[in-house]
Amino acid sequence: MNDQKGIPYDINTESQKDCILNHGAVGNGRVIALIAPTGAIEWLCLPCFDSPSVFARILDNEKGGTFRFLANQQEITGKLSYITNTNVLTTVFKHNNCIWELVDFAPRIPFGLTVQAPIEIVRLLRPVKGQPRISIDFDPRPDYARSQAKLIQTTNGLEILGGEAPLTLLTNAPIPYVLNKQEFILNQPIFFSLCYGHRTESPTLASITHSLELTIEGWRAWAKTCSLPSFAPVEVLRSALCLKLHVYNDTGAIIAAATTSIPEAMKSPRTWDYRYCWLRDAAFVVEALRRLGHLNEGEKFITFLRNVAESGTLQPLYSISGKQALPEEFLPNLTGFCGNGYVRIGNAAYMQKQNDLMGELILCLETLLSDPRIVFNDPEELFPLIERLVEDAIAAAPIPDTGIWEFRSMLRPYTFSRAMCWVAIHRGAILAHRFGRTNLAKRWEQIALSERQIVLERGYNSQLEMFSQVLDGEYPDAVNLLLPTLGIVDASDWRFINTVKNCKKILVKNDLILRYINLDDFGETTSAFTICSFWLAEALALMGNLEEAVELFQKLLSYANPVGLFSEDIDPQSGMLLGNFPQAYTHVGLINAAMTIGQLLELKSGKIQAWS
């Protein structure tokens, strides 16, 4: 990259292995790290999800920085897997008749009704067979590799300077081995604890092992409370565990993905920073987790929502602390994923007008307020926010917006945006009745009737036989596959059936569905947006095409990486995972599709009673 506009490098300069999103993710609600099958930490931001990176090898193989272990000066690819029902990773390596194991985790210690989640990543390296010769490549590159790290030896480890605040690496390995990348015989377990800030107490192997055991127990306790569907329960549980990693403990914000600038398509400037809280995406995550029996995440998100709502005009996304301004900036010092270039931090979508937002938030509030398992001390405190969202939806409904796909310059009357405005008004009226605001409810009901009529009459193109991307439009849009789940049209309605048929005909490539085919701000789209394919599977199930839905769902599962994680996009030609990773939205789609398919399969087979 040779200027501030992000001209991409030649993609052929990077090796093909660097283009594979085969990583696992570890975290605890305050930190997320991506671990490659080589055992390398290739992405880690500290102290928060949206802080500058310490390791960014995923965005620059040479300069990004990493933390890895070499055998005989070689990077060895091991077998990466999750310890069952946890977010703890193990990688088993075999080389020269030796076997060793690497365990990666972020401590998450049960503590009464909460958990203790320090800003810390722990690595435990253990010999299994033989005496492998190992060297440690600890190469932090603070501030997206824009700062030089200074490593200072301390009594029990290293202090790392050069970032916003010091980091501490504590270990039972000899410090010169770390500083000099000196090879040694691995004949006993060694640990590494990378912490943010200063650490006064030095861990021991026993305390590290105990922390690992408690973290495993804590994750498994959380997994036990998931109410899983009968269909694809293993994949749903992994998706739920993945979603939990995206929830920020401190504020209740939920990020869209752990990374920035993994491109939607190679050789493309479609690179975005997803380490922020999109209110829309967060509402979808809350509902997916609620359906699985997890409610704490929704309660915390409502607190976050109230805090940002009371700070001014609602915007589509915020930092995880609730900060409003997220200006975009290119980082020309990084070559980008697989040499793609266009590395960005910040996201200019925070300035956009997206009219669907009020609908998702009202849906989120209504489902949580209607759930008898949640006790609100004073539900009345939420009604001013409800009223504001509904009135905002009424005002926004006839005004063009940038839509759910965040077109940067294409303000249009998007059908889905108008449908979500109807959702906000319609569901808001239901809530108003519940809160005893009868006159307000009646007014909103009348407006909702009118809005629904507009969507059904102008959103459906009778000549093309489908709901179109915009009112009175001519192009399809995969987001309209969600219309039955909103209640605006039934899945058995001929208009929706026609829409599904034509979306399959026009948008599907190799069983994967594009969001749309019309040109956008960057030209033609080529990658499939993975959640849309799960939307299609769910739509087919709701229409009664269960066999086709199951077949599609199973095909989609084959695109998951080896540890069951999905990114945002898939290249329909190569099957390559693209887009930011792991993507919360995609895992929401998987959960919802599996839940719906599972319920309908049970009804079809009559297995709706106990013991069936």
| DSSP assignment string, 250-297 | TT--B-SBS-B---SSTTSS---B--SEEHHHHHHHHHHHHHTT--HH
Cα(540)–Cα(491) distance, integer angstroms: 9
Assigned fold of 31-223: Beta-galactosidase; Chain A, domain 5 (2.70.98)
Q: Please say whether the beta carbons of 422 and 377 come within 8 A.
A: no
Please give the model's pTM, rounded to 2 decimal places.
0.95
Residue 322 three-state SS: coil
CA pair distance 52, 273, nearest whole angstrom: 12
Residue 252 has pLDDT above 50, yes or no: yes
What is the per-residue pLDDT for 198? 85
User: What is residue 39's predicted lDDT score, i.e. its pLDDT?
Assistant: 98
pLDDT of residue 44: 98
Residue 234: predicted pLDDT:
98
Residue 490, pLDDT score = 97
On the question of pLDDT at 7 being above 70, the answer is: no
CB 366 within 8 A of CB 431: yes
Joined together, the tokens standing for residue 21 give 């999103």
Q: Is the pLDDT of residue 612 over 60?
A: no
| C-alpha torsion sign, points 348, 351, 353, 356 | positive
Contact 5, 43 (CB under 8 A): no
Mean predicted confidence (pLDDT) in 24-40: 98
Reported as a single tens digit per residue, the pLDDT across 173-228 is 999 999 999 999 999 999 999 999 888 788 999 999 999 999 999 999 999 999 99
Minimum mean pLDDT range among 13-22, 436-445, 471-480, 597-606: 13-22
Residue closest to 67 by CA, chosen among 172, 187, 160: 160
For the segment 377-384, the average pLDDT, to the nearest whole number, is: 93
Q: Are 266 and 8 in contact (CB under 8 A)?
A: no
In what helix (H) or strand (E) does residue 539 lie, and over which residues does it extend? Answer: helix 530-543
Q: Indicate the domain borders of the chain.
A: 31-223, 354-504
Give, in order, the Cα–Cα distances in Å from 27 to each of 30, 83, 211, 281. Answer: 7, 14, 14, 20
pLDDT band of 275, cuts 50, 70, 90: very high
62-71, 88-97, 484-493, 600-609: least confidently modelled range: 600-609
Phi, psi (5° rounding) for residue 24? -105, 160
Q: Is the dihedral of CA 291, 354, 492, 569 positive or negative?
A: negative
Instruction: For residue range 547-567, list pLDDT tens digits in order.
Output: 999 999 999 999 999 999 999
Using the 8-state DSSP alphabet, how is residue 134 labeled?
E
Q: Could you tell me whether strands 114-116 and 109-111 are parallel, antiparallel, or unpaired per DSSP bridges?
A: antiparallel
Cα–chain center distance at 485:
21
State the DSSP H helix or E strand holding residue 237, giving kind and residue range, or none if neither.
helix 233-245
Helix (H, G, I), strand (E, B) or coil at 184: strand
Residues 283, 305: contact at Cβ < 8 Å?
A: no
Residues above pLDDT 70, as percent of the chain? 96
Go through the chain and tell me how many residues it has: 612
Task: Please give the pLDDT value at position 12.
Answer: 42
Q: What confidence score (pLDDT) does residue 17 get?
A: 58
Structure confidence by residue, pLDDT tens digits, 313-357: 999 999 999 999 999 999 999 999 999 999 999 999 999 999 999
Q: Which residue has the higher pLDDT, 18 or 431?
A: 431
What long-range pairs does 212-218 form, CB within 8 A, spacing at least 24? Answer: 212/88, 212/103, 212/105, 212/122, 212/124, 214/107, 214/109, 214/110, 215/28, 215/86, 215/88, 215/105, 215/106, 215/107, 215/108, 215/109, 216/83, 216/86, 216/88, 217/110, 218/108, 218/109, 218/110, 218/115
Q: Report CA-CA distances (Å) from 557 to 23, 291, 565.
A: 16, 21, 10
**What is d(CA 452, CA 450) in angstroms, rounded to the nearest whole number?**
6
C-alpha distances out from residue 605 to 538, 599, 601, Å: 18, 10, 6
pLDDT tens track for 510-548: 999 999 999 998 999 999 999 999 999 999 999 999 999
> Is there a contact between 82 and 582 (Cβ–Cβ < 8 Å)?
no
The reported pLDDT for the residue numbered 14 is 41
**Tokens linked to 267:** 């050789």
Tell me the average pLDDT across 385-397: 97
- Do 581 and 21 meet the contact criterion of CB atoms below 8 Å apart? yes
CA atoms in the 13 A half-sphere facing the CB of 612: 12
Look over the chain and give the mean of its residue pLDDT values, rounded to a whole number.
94
Model confidence over 116-162: pLDDT tens digits?
999 999 999 999 999 999 999 999 999 999 999 999 999 889 999 99
Q: How far apart are the first and last CA of the chain?
A: 60
Distance CA 457, CA 573 (A): 37
The token duo for 207 is: 């305390």
